[in-house]
């Protein structure tokens, strides 16, 4: 089955009952869809917005065990995440990379303390270890991070962790699920949960936001994997439901790579508020983040708070010579983590809340998964499907995802942005060879071309200009103003490819202009 909306609706209209239906198309929901489909279950996934529009496209781009969680004593989570990090490298090598990190140290005691911790971190990874933590002298630190402050520098530690492109992995997971027989659909908002005479869930209704048409489907197992929005779905199930989660915001800023230096990433282990901050090379820029700010309401497009932006810039200034200022920021973005709602104590403390996931089953047999992190998406999918099998009485089948290649998987290395397309690259380049006008750049300062828009229209289920500029490519996050300049070009290519009119083009450009305001200072 092709990864298109038409194919999805053909499947929806001809399937009488699904084995597994998933609400939510972020990392968790997509991981569940891949797991269920690869086991041979009839699988449907519906997503209210675009795939990974929320938190799953706004991470710090790290595939990691969580050095910070190790410091908090969350050994179980770290060990599990390190194993899953290794599996991501094996199964999706085109969108995941080994990244060198340097921790500059201005205290001999701290240098030894961090080395001991990171040696333990390496050891926990076992056979899936990706590098060896080592001590660095002062000159070695300056060679790797030329812009780090030299005064008082005692040396540092180099360690290795993972980096990835979160939104590209998400779309590849959707494609992988479809290749194993799943049906996945974006812009499909669940409006009602159906139950049988005994009060058990047996279906749902959703609204196609592109046509305003309502569809109703039947299912044996129903899974709520909506991240920060799990409570909204639980309230469709039980009107009196009390919130399980509250959002914690992680903000990031993106700057030019000149502010960091080489290919090594910077890790600041103890900021002024006791947290960890990263400076990570990513797609030719440097990403600085993240924060951990408790909020009281959910938003699909949160904007970094002024104090978060200033905190990141101030911390960078503490560690970097000629540190970036507000004028140097190319883009800002934030994601919301679904943390357990506090029941007692300090409602504003997020440090002690475990980042591990939780699986819950309602009286109606609605399965909800919340929490977790990108790195452990596969394990979360496995555990959720295991629960669905028991809950819905499905035929028991073993998990297939431990060594399942993700769509695009290839170990061949490409230059620049082409790397994340993996094995799809040749087909995209073939489009340009058939029509040389598709070599046209979307923006003079970046290499993205018209062929990539055509490819995304035909093979990556884009509906809006935003889908392409924010998630199929990452231009919005890399350079928000440049992405706005590219938007009219993208809109016209999409309109021609999908038979949209001038009114659609005007509306899309206007909506994108409003979106970009959230990504600029």
Query: Measured between alpha carbons, how far apart are the two ends of the chain, in Å?
Result: 43
Residues 291 and 437 placed together within one structural domain of the fold: no
Residues 172 and 153 placed together within one structural domain of the fold: no
Is 305 a member of any domain? yes
Is 226 a member of any domain? yes
Is 82 a member of any domain? no
What mean pLDDT is predicted for residues 213-217? 98
- The torsion angles phi and psi of 175, rounded to 5 degrees, stand at -65, -40
Residues 504 and 430 placed together within one structural domain of the fold: yes
Q: What is the CATH number of the domain that holds 142?
A: 3.30.9.10
Average pLDDT score, the chain: 94
The SS3 of residue 313 is helix
Domain containing 444: what range? 423-517
Is 70 a member of any domain? no
292, pLDDT greater than 70: yes
Is 404 a member of any domain? no
Is 383 a member of any domain? yes
Could you give the angle at the alpha carbon of 218 between the alpha carbons of 213 and 220, nearest 5°?
150
Residues 497 and 431 placed together within one structural domain of the fold: yes
Residues 304 and 252 placed together within one structural domain of the fold: yes
The pTM is what?
Answer: 0.96
CA distance 520 to 508: 19
Would you place residue 339 in the very low, low, confident or very high pLDDT band (cuts 50, 70, 90)? confident
What mean pLDDT is predicted for residues 178-194? 98
- 100 forms beta bridges with 160
Residues 202 and 251 placed together within one structural domain of the fold: no
Residues 262 and 293 placed together within one structural domain of the fold: yes
Per residue in 297-338, pLDDT tens? 899 999 999 999 999 999 999 999 999 999 999 999 999 998
Is 69 a member of any domain? no
Specify the number of domains making up the chain: 3
The SS3 of residue 231 is helix
Residues 222 and 118 placed together within one structural domain of the fold: no
Whether the CB-CB separation of 188 and 46 falls below 8 Å is answered with yes
Per residue in 413-426, pLDDT tens? 998 999 999 999 99
Residues 155 and 251 placed together within one structural domain of the fold: yes
**Buried residues in 411-443 as b, exposed as e (16+ CB within 10 A):** eeeeeebbbbbbebbeebbebbeeeeebeeebb
67, pLDDT greater than 90: no
Would you place residue 70 in the very low, low, confident or very high pLDDT band (cuts 50, 70, 90)? confident
Residues 261 and 301 placed together within one structural domain of the fold: yes
Would you place residue 349 in the very low, low, confident or very high pLDDT band (cuts 50, 70, 90)? very low
Residues 282 and 330 placed together within one structural domain of the fold: yes
Is 73 a member of any domain? no
CA distance 375 to 101: 18
Residues 302 and 159 placed together within one structural domain of the fold: yes
Q: Report pLDDT for 347.
A: 46
């Amino acid at each position: 089955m092709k990864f298109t909306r038409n194919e999805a609706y053909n499947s929806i209209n001809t399937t009488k009952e699904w084995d597994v239906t998933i609400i939510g198309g972020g990392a968790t929901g997509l991981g569940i869809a891949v797991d269920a489909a690869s086991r041979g279950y009839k699988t449907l996934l519906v997503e209210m917005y675009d795939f990974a529009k929320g938190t799953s496209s706004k991470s710090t781009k790290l595939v990691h065990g969580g050095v910070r969680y190790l410091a908090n004593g969350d050994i179980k989570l770290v060990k599990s995440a390190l194993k899953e990090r290794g599996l991501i490298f094996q199964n999706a090598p085109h969108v995941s990379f080994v990244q060198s990190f340097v921790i500059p140290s201005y205290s001999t005691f701290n240098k030894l303390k961090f080395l001991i911790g990171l040696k333990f971190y390496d050891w926990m990874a076992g056979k899936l270890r990706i590098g060896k933590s080592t001590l660095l002298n002062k000159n070695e630190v300056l060679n790797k991070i030329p812009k780090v402050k030299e005064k008082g520098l005692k040396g540092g530690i180099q360690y290795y962790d993972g980096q990835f492109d979160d939104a590209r992995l998400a779309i590849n997971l959707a494609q992988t699920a479809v290749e194993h027989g799943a049906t996945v659909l974006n812009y499909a908002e669940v409006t009602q949960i159906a139950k049988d005479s005994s009060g058990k869930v047996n279906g749902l209704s959703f609204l196609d936001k592109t046509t305003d048409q309502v569809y109703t489907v039947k299912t044996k197992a129903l899974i709520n994997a909506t991240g920060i929005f799990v409570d909204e779905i639980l309230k469709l199930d039980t009107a009196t439901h009390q919130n399980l989660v509250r959002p914690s915001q992680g903000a990031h800023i993106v700057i030019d790579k000149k502010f960091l230096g080489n290919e090594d990433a910077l890790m600041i282990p103890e900021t002024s508020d006791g947290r960890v901050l990263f400076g990570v090379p990513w797609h030719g820029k440097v990403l600085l983040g993240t924060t951990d700010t408790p909020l009281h309401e959910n938003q699909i497009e949160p904007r970094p708070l002024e104090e978060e932006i200033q905190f990141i810039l101030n911390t960078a200034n503490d560690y970097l010579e000629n540190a970036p200022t507000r004028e140097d920021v190319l883009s800002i973005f934030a994601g919301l983590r679904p943390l357990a709602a506090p029941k007692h104590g300090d409602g504003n403390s997020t440090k002690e809340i475990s980042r591990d996931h939780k699986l819950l089953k309602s009286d109606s047999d609605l399965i909800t998964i919340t929490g977790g992190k990108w790195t452990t998406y596969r394990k979360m999918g496995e555990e959720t499907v295991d629960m669905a099998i028991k809950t819905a009485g499905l035929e028991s089948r073993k998990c297939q995802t431990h060594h399942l290649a993700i769509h695009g998987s290839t170990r061949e290395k490409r230059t620049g942005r082409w790397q994340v397309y993996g094995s799809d690259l040749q087909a995209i380049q073939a489009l340009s060879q058939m029509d040389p006008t598709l070599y046209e750049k979307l923006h003079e300062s970046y290499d993205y071309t018209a062929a990539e828009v055509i490819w995304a229209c035909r093979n990556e289920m884009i509906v809006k200009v935003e889908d392409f500029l924010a998630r199929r490519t990452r231009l919005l996050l890399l350079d928000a103003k440049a992405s706005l300049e590219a938007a009219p070009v993208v809109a016209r290519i999409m309109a021609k490819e999908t038979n949209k009119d001038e009114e659609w083009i005007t509306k899309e450009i206007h909506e994108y202009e409003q979106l970009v305001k959230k990504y600029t200072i």
